[in-house]
Amino acid sequence: MEGARKALVVLAIEKTLLEVGRATYDEVLDKLNEDYHCYLSDCYEHPEYLSLVLKKLYGQSRLAIIISIKKYLAEISMQEDITKFIIKISE
Digitized pLDDT (tens) for each residue of the chain, 91 residues in all: 678 889 999 999 999 999 999 999 999 999 999 999 999 999 999 999 999 999 999 999 999 999 999 998 887 777 788 888 888 999 8
pTM for the full model? 0.87
- Residue 49's Cβ-side half-sphere holds a number of Cα atoms within 13 Å equal to 20
The count of structural domains within the chain is 1
Contact 76, 5 (CB under 8 A): yes
For residue 78, the enclosing domain spans: 2-90
Radius of gyration of the chain (CA): 12
**Can you give the CATH number for the domain in which 57 is found?**
1.10.1200.200
Q: How far apart are CA 21 and CA 27, in angstroms?
A: 10
